[in-house]
Amino acid sequence: MNWYDYIACLFAGMFIANAIPHFIHGVSGNKFPTPFSKPPGKGLSSPTVNVLWALLNFTAGYLFYLAGKISEGNVWTLIIFFIGFAFISIFSSKIFADKMIE
């Protein structure tokens, strides 16, 4: 595999992990920060915007997943996918820890 396949694995994990909180808040009818809120990432976006943002993240994550050729046959692709997933999850937990959600 090429080096850029592993970068795709990392981004796949990051995009898929980022989609989860936006999707959950959106389908639950709750507002949550997105890049489209005012101020970006700090204000709250509508549930519909969160669902759309989540779907975009799921799509990007899936495309990176395919590009990264993630499979059980190559354990490194799974490890790097998990590193991306864990990194953005921990990073997001720190950023949103003090956010007041309606």
> Which pair of tokens denotes residue 88?
């953005």
pLDDT digits 0-9 by tens, 58-92: 999 999 999 999 998 999 999 999 999 999 999 99
Q: Give the per-residue pLDDT at 10.
A: 98
**Phi-psi map region of 15: left, alpha, beta (phi>0 left; psi -120 to 50 alpha):** alpha
Please say if the pLDDT value at position 49 is more than 90.
Answer: yes
Question: Quick one: which of 83, 74, 101 has its CA closest to 2?
Answer: 74
